[in-house]
Amino acid sequence: MDSDHEEEDALQACTALVVHDPDSAPPAGELAEQDEEVIRARPRQPARRRINTAPARVLAEYSDDDEDHDLLHCDDEPEEEAELVEEGEKLLGKYDDIVWKLGGMEACQRDQGRWIDEDPKIRWDRVLEAKPELNDTFFLKYFCAFFPYTTLPWWCKEVTQRGRAKYRNLFITRNRDFTPGLFFVFIGNFFYMAQHPGVPRRAYFNETAVFPEVAHNLSRFGLTYTDFEHVIEALELPQYTAGMAAATDNKKLFAPKCGPPLGTPSPDEFVWVRRFIDTWNAWIAWTYISSHILNPDETMIRWLSKYGLPGLMFVRRKPDPLGHELKNVSDALSRIMVWVELQEGKDRDRLKNYVREYGATTAFALRLVDAMNLVGKGKKLIMDSWFGSVKASALLLERGTFLVAIVKTNTKFYPLASLKTLASTIDKKTHSTRAVSMTTDLKLDSGTKQILALYHLGPAGSVLPVVATCGISLRGADRQYDAHQKLSTGERKIEQRVCTQPGVVADYKKHFHIIDDINQQTNQTGRLDEAWKTHYWPHRDLAKFLNISKVNALNAWGFFGDAAEAGVPESERARHFTNGFIRECYANPWLREDPQWVCPAGLEGNDGELRGSLFSPPSHGTRSLIPAEIATPESDVLADDAEQSKPVCFLKGIPGGHAQKCTVSTCKAQCYMYCVTCHDPAGVGAKSGRYAWICGPRTGRECFKEHVTRVAQKGANFTPKRKRVAKLAGDAEELAKAKKQAADTAGALEAASAAAAEAAAALKELLES
């Protein structure tokens, strides 16, 4: 009876919950002036070119919390920031009093509004307009669909002018200009180096064989080692021209000269990369139509140098915590990154649009809608906890954009306490969705809309507070997850279980991690920043965007069906695409226009068409076996992957198995995968296969990469299974020799015995006679 009364009281207390801000809002203009005075009155610290704090010390200093930190400006001043955001909240006006009531959304508002589900599309007519010959390529055309290649003629001309100003006629061999054709050879070399790590840069251009017994000889493709280094010295990204009018459409950004957009700070600390990022965004908006589901998140550009860069941040939860942060948006269906916003540091980010009125998180969502022209298009944004709030959902709904997000820190106007009280009364084992929900009505010009607040009880005590303006609170697709059970022996066992969930939670779980997946793809398919090894941060940004463009091209090649049509399995697509893309960089349409250009041997078949791919390096799953003739300087033929390489090291999971400690390097983390080739469970002793347990690539660690590299360095006999097999083979050979010797000895003894018997018989006959 007591429990029934408690449940009834809880329901009555939550039936008419009102969340409001009692303070009245001052006029918007007066508030804007006050906020502008507050911001301008802050003493600005001079930007330090050198950071004296080592990365290890920085990690230790900011390891206690999970927030983002600006390392160049660490004076957070929380009181002033809180005051700024609190005054901005009052500008909501009609949303100050929000009434929540029990119930959920049984029908999706987006579907009721007759918004159609759009499929992504590449506008090939715009991609091929400047270079129709790209249509004859298989991989390069996808890369050019996501990289502004139309800017290359005048960009390469600027690089040639800087190079000749420094090196005169020695800039590039035979006094050539740096052309778009040589640009693709240049980036092809870097992608090749990222595919074949562990070799000094000069060794890639040698004609003689070096580790791992391969003559790379990249000089034959158009750039010698000296040319390559000269291009790096002269390479600068395009910049805005001061004093010129700002671009009003995408095509003006592709012109040689253009003024900075309105609101660009002066002096501009990001002048070296700002125009390139704006042009990259404009090019994708020009050539690509995104689907109806978008996923905003963050990406870090790794930075470990002791010299600072503008906007240097430390985000502890990221795989690359120290570096330059980008806010970005990806298409959730095709996994293509479509828009990026530069993060310029705490002080400069405060001056961006909507920040003073609504705070940083909501302001980013509104800038996203404006920059991508999403107003009134019915797109659906799947966001994580940094972006999610009731305020953002209301303002986005007002602009015709729907939101599904979780709420952790931005809980103002959100009925979190009431949802927790309601959730404590449900039975997780019998409840159909394991969730409780409340709704509130918003009166907009387009009609009355609802905001859903839902609290889902996940497995293992996890909770998921959701705010959404589309989706349903009814039961959706069940979630399958791995449960880790600790045994009495100290080991852990994995069991697959099923958890019921609402439709809106299922939708969120399906799409919220797309940017994280793209970041992992970027790191696992060859990191250009590690191959470049530069301490000049604009070059590091360029390497990151080249990597993103290649991953966009890879995902588009897989999504739009060309990979399946070519019969390439999903596990081999990254390697197949990268090698084919490098081949087409070395024989791109711009080079083929030159009558003096000759296609290097091994790049095309007897029929004159580009085919096959470069030999594969030690990577996540395969290692090349290069024939001896490839390593000789007399041969310029490249091996074909299908004929010359085969899988050596690859991982396999253990469904229902026990967790083991990773034994690669000093990791020692728990893992559930092992190298099939190197694992030796049949060996003698407890350590027979112990070092074959390895963390998988999806963990964000590079244990398997280190393992494969070590196998490549020490040869095939390094693997424990092959060592044991070789030892057993040697033992068998020794045993065979011993048996042969014993047989020979037995034969000799038998012959001696026969001879002795014959001698005895002869002696007996002699005595008898």
Between 702 and 77, the higher pLDDT residue: 702
What is the number of structural domains in the chain?
1
pLDDT tens per residue, range 498-548: 899 999 999 999 999 999 889 888 887 778 888 888 888 999 999 999 999
Residue 339 predicted with pLDDT over 90: yes
pLDDT at 435: 92
Burial 227-254 (b: 16+ CB within 10 A, else e): bbebbeebbbbbbbeeeeeebeebeebb
Is position 151 within any domain? yes
pLDDT tens per residue, range 176-203: 999 999 999 999 999 999 888 877 888 8
Q: What CA–CA distance (Å, rounded) separates 541 from 524?
A: 18
Mean pLDDT of 460-471: 91
Residue 616 predicted with pLDDT over 80: no
The rounded percent of the chain whose pLDDT value lies above 90 is 34
Mean pLDDT of 360-379: 92
Instruction: Identify whether the C-beta of residue 610 lies closer than 8 Å to the C-beta of residue 587.
Output: yes
pTM above 0.75, yes or no: no
pLDDT at 747: 85
Mean pLDDT of 637-653: 47
pLDDT-based confidence at residue 120 (cuts at 50, 70, 90): very high
Mention every residue, 6+ apart, whose C-beta is less than 8 A from residue 194: 526, 527, 528, 530, 531
For residue 267, give the DSSP letter. S
Is position 6 within any domain? no
pLDDT-based confidence at residue 350 (cuts at 50, 70, 90): confident
User: What kind and span of H or E run contains 720?
Assistant: helix 720-768
Instruction: Identify whether the C-beta of residue 472 lies closer than 8 Å to the C-beta of residue 450.
Output: no
Residue 122 predicted with pLDDT over 50: yes
Amino acid 173 reads T
Structure tokens at 399: 């602009």
Mention every residue, 6+ apart, whose C-beta is less than 8 A from residue 369: 375, 396, 399, 401
pLDDT tens per residue, range 374-389: 999 999 999 988 888 9
Q: What CA–CA distance (Å, rounded) separates 502 from 463?
A: 13
Residue 65 predicted with pLDDT over 70: no
Between 630 and 374, the higher pLDDT residue: 374
- Average pLDDT of the residues of the chain: 77
pLDDT-based confidence at residue 395 (cuts at 50, 70, 90): very high
Amino acid 485 reads Q
Residue 557 predicted with pLDDT over 50: yes
SS3 99: strand
pLDDT tens per residue, range 223-263: 999 999 999 999 999 999 887 888 777 777 888 888 888 88
262-271, 396-405, 657-666, 726-735: least confident range: 657-666
Residues pairing with 452 in the sheet: 439, 468
Residues pairing with 381 in the sheet: 294, 403
Is position 450 within any domain? no
Which of 511, 501, 352, 338 shows the shortest CA–CA distance to 434? 501
166-175, 204-213, 459-468: least confident range: 204-213
Between 22 and 9, the higher pLDDT residue: 9
Q: Identify which of 1-15, 19-33, 327-341, 736-750 has the greatest average pLDDT.
A: 327-341
pLDDT at 52: 33
Residue 26 predicted with pLDDT over 80: no
Residue 403 predicted with pLDDT over 50: yes
Mean pLDDT of 11-21: 42
433, 456, 501 from 476: Cα distances, Å: 8, 13, 6
Mean pLDDT of 291-311: 85
Structure tokens at 709: 């590299």
Is position 564 within any domain? yes
Residue 88 predicted with pLDDT over 50: no
Report the chain's C-alpha Rg in angstroms: 33
Which of 698, 514, 404 shows the shortest CA–CA distance to 120? 514
pLDDT at 698: 61
Mean pLDDT of 44-51: 35
Q: What CA–CA distance (Å, rounded) separates 616 from 580?
A: 11
pLDDT-based confidence at residue 584 (cuts at 50, 70, 90): very high
136-150, 152-166, 213-227, 578-592: least confident range: 213-227
Residue with tokens 């024989």: 587
pLDDT at 264: 84
Between 3 and 137, the higher pLDDT residue: 137
Is position 150 within any domain? yes
Is position 294 within any domain? no
Residue 61 predicted with pLDDT over 60: no
Is position 299 within any domain? no
Q: What is the DSSP string of 544-558?
A: HHHHHHHHHHHHHHH
Between 195 and 407, the higher pLDDT residue: 407
**C-alpha torsion 70→71→73→76, nearest 10:** 60
Q: What CA–CA distance (Å, rounded) separates 525 from 523?
A: 6
- List phi, psi (to 5°) of 569: -65, 155
The rounded percent of the chain whose pLDDT value lies above 70 is 74
Cα 702 to the center of its chain, rounded Å: 14
For residue 616, give the DSSP letter. P
Between 617 and 423, the higher pLDDT residue: 423
pLDDT at 340: 96
Residue 135 predicted with pLDDT over 70: yes
Residue 464 predicted with pLDDT over 60: yes
pLDDT tens per residue, range 261-290: 888 888 888 999 999 999 999 999 999 999
pLDDT at 680: 61
Mean pLDDT of 437-458: 89
pLDDT at 699: 66
User: Domain of 557?
Assistant: 126-240+525-646
Is position 496 within any domain? no
